[in-house]
Amino acid sequence: MIFAGSLSEFFALNALTATIGLVFSFATPYVLASLGETFGQRSGVYNLGVDGVMLLGAFAGYYTVLKTKNVWLGCVVAIVVGLMLGLAVGVVNVLGWAEQGISGIGFFLFGLGLSELLFEKWVGTPLPIKSFPNLQIPLLSKIPRVGDMFFKQHLLVYLTFLAVPVSAYILKRTRFGLNITAVGENPEAADSLGVSVPRIRLQAQLINGAFSGLAGAVLAINLGIFQQNLTNGLGFIAVALVYFGGWRPAGVMGGALLFGFVESSVLRLKALSIIPQSWSDIAAMTPAVVTIIVLVFVARRSRQPGALGIPFIRHG
């Protein structure tokens, strides 16, 4: 028997409101990291080291808030750290023509180890920090239930979901976005038209790094804490969500929301003892399993960028 308690408790309006309210907060780091990786992959470069960049961004954001008590400064510092790592990823993969899978593992391990080392040396023990203040949207937050679910989040949640259409617009409607797509699909053709493939790919990696660094900071500051391996593989899920979303910002957001919803629901079911303790560990795997299953079906219909993972080497 899977359900020990009463499912009606889960479907009670209060519980449902609370569960859906958490979905956006849970999904935010996934959306940010996946959006950044979407830019990177659309340009033809994938970075399996997103998790490592997130960890360093998380530590940078956490440490800054710990010292300054300024959550916004924490986000800025995390973006700067992300930009630096994005540049490093770009130099290694774009200019150094590295095997992207291996270099990604390297960046992940680098971020994992360095964030752990810095945490141990500079902090030592998980010290709580100030979290993001919730921003209640005037009027909308007063709407019964709907206000609780959607309009009492922190500022970064709103900005993150606003970044989705902005990213889609950039990728589809601007010269820069079209160049990203061009160098990711057919770099030789783009090059022959005078587009600098390395420059565009480097810029895409900078965007990727900034988003990933911010994603880490949002995670740490929202939790109000940092510890070793805080992301616990979140960055890898973010990479999978890019495939899930068919390399489109809206698709990526949909995947992140699904993941957040399953995660939030499982937590609620466990908290209400509807899922018994003996099933607890299996239930914890549900978000990842659901993502994989959906990925199998959704990814079939999508086509990855033509030059994804292939370094551009100009001949002649």
Partner 1 sequence: MNRRNLMGALLASVGLLAVGCGSDKAATPATTAAAVTTVAPATTTAPATTAAPATTAAPKAAKKLKVAIITPSAENDVAFSQSMFDSIAIVAKERGADGIEIAKSPNLFVVADAGAAIRDYATKGFDIVIAHGSQYGALLKEIAPQFPKVSFAWGTAADTFGQPNIWAYEAKSDQGGYVLGILASQITKKDNIGIIGPVEVGDAKLYVEGFKKGAADGKGTAKVNVTYTGSFSDVAKMAEAAKTFTTGGADVLTGSSQAVAGAVPVADAAGAAWFGTQSDQSALSKKATVGSQVYHWEDAVREMLSSVEKGTLGGKTFALTLANKGLQIAYNPGYKIDPAAKAKADDAMKAVIAGSVKTTA
Residues of this chain that interact with partner 1 (CB under 8 A) are 14-15, 18-19, 21-22, 25-26, 52, 92, 96-103, 105-117, 120, 124-129, 131, 219, 223-225, 227-228, 230-232, 263-264, 267-268, 270-273, 277, 280-281, 284, 311
Which residue's structure tokens are 């660094």?
213
Give 131 or 186: the residue with its C-beta nearer to partner 1.
131
Shortest approach of partner 1 to residue 179 CB, angstroms?
Answer: 24
Backbone angles phi, psi at 143, to 5 degrees: -65, 125
Query: Alpha-carbon torsion 131, 133, 135, 136, what sign?
Result: positive
**Which H or E element spans position 302?**
none
Shortest approach of partner 1 to residue 141 CB, angstroms?
Answer: 15
By DSSP bridging, strand 152-154 and strand 134-136 are antiparallel
Give 185 or 263: the residue with its C-beta nearer to partner 1.
263
**Chain center to CA of 167:** 14
Among 287, 179, 186, 187, residue whose Cα is nearest residue 232:
287
The angle subtended at Cα 165 by Cα 162 and Cα 169, nearest 5°, is 135
Shortest approach of partner 1 to residue 250 CB, angstroms?
Answer: 26
Query: What is the secondary structure of 187-244 as a DSSP string?
Result: HHHHHHTT--HHHHHHHHHHHHHHHHHHHHHHHHHHHT---TTTTTTHHHHHHHHHHH
Helix (DSSP H) and strand (DSSP E) numbers for the chain: 14, 2
Shortest approach of partner 1 to residue 249 CB, angstroms?
Answer: 25
Biggest CA pair distance of the chain: 70
Shortest approach of partner 1 to residue 281 CB, angstroms?
Answer: 5
Give 48 or 252: the residue with its C-beta nearer to partner 1.
48
Shortest approach of partner 1 to residue 2 CB, angstroms?
Answer: 16
Give 29 or 246: the residue with its C-beta nearer to partner 1.
29
Give 195 or 310: the residue with its C-beta nearer to partner 1.
310
Give 225 or 298: the residue with its C-beta nearer to partner 1.
225
CB within 8 Å of 117: residues ≥ 6 apart: none
Shortest approach of partner 1 to residue 302 CB, angstroms?
Answer: 27
Give 54 or 204: the residue with its C-beta nearer to partner 1.
54
